[in-house]
Amino acid sequence: MRRAEFVASIGGCLLVMMSLVIIWSARLSVPGGVYVSELGAEGMHTAAWFEFALLLLVLGGSAIAWAGRRERSRVGVLRAWSPAMSLWIGCDLFLIASQVTCTSGCPIPYGSTFNFQDFTHTLVAVLAFAAACWAMLQSAFAHNHRALAVFSSVAGILVAVIAATGGIFSLFRFQLELGSWLEFVATTLAITWLVVFGAVLAARLLREAASRSALHEPQQAVGESH
């Protein structure tokens, strides 16, 4: 089981990193300011690649969540469920967002061009980000992971503030190019945190395996001496 968890954490990290590379490659192929969801909008030449990137993120994030399903926060309300459950919820929402994309131009949440498809995509995307931030907050108070706790605290705050700022800019049609870059920065931070979370899990599993091996070797040596 531990070996399977190690493979899941490493494999998940690789899938998630591939997702980030594809998202940024797609972004750099589009001139001007575009928000993350616009890469998958109907009619965009990046739509298929963006869908693929989200599916990679869903698969990789789910694998990392499974590997870290035993992790728990030590703070009351954050212990209601595990960070893994928050990640699974976020992955489910991103899966919906990958299949229910926004319409051309990704209209803001009001006006005549905004429809139910746009509403669905916007809602699940916002909730997915919220689930990711909640997982970061839970990990900030996890047991025996001081480095991960510090990184999770910083990443969670930055992702929430930066993404919210970009979203507000979008709502008020203010500094749209800056707002779009802020959203990409928040997305990058969130995905980077997921990779770090998976890497920390893998490193811990390696240490545990090394400890078990070190304990087992002296016993073998004693047995052979007799």
Domain residue spans of the chain = 2-208
In this structure, what token pair is assigned to residue 129? 């980000």
Residues 24 and 8: their CA atoms lie apart, in Å, by 24
Residues 154 and 139: their CA atoms lie apart, in Å, by 11
Phi-psi region of 173 (alpha: psi -120 to 50; beta: other; left: phi over 0): left
Q: Which CATH number fits domain 2-208: 1.20.1070, 3.10.20, 1.10.3210, 1.10.287?
A: 1.20.1070
pLDDT of res. 224:
53
Q: What does the DSSP assignment read for the chain? A: -HHHHHHHHHHHHHHHHHHHHHHHHHHHTS-S---GGGGGSTT-TTHHHHHHHHHHHHHHHHHHHHHTTT--BSSTGGGSS-HHHHHHHHHHHHHHHHHS---TT---SSSTT--HHHHHHHHHHHHHHHHHHHHHHHHHTBTT-HHHHHHHHHHHHHHHHHHHHHHHHHHTT-SHHHHHHHHHHHHHHHHHHHHHHHHHHHHHHHHHHHHHHHHHHHHHHHHHH-
pLDDT of res. 222:
47
Mean pLDDT, 10 residues at a time, the chain of 226 residues: 89 97 95 88 93 97 94 85 95 96 79 83 92 93 79 90 86 78 93 95 82 61 50
What is Dmax (Cα atoms) for the chain?
A: 85
pLDDT of res. 189:
95
Exposure string for 24-62, b = 16+ CB within 10 A, e = fewer:
eebbeeeeebbbbbbbbbeebebbebbbbbbbbbbbbbb
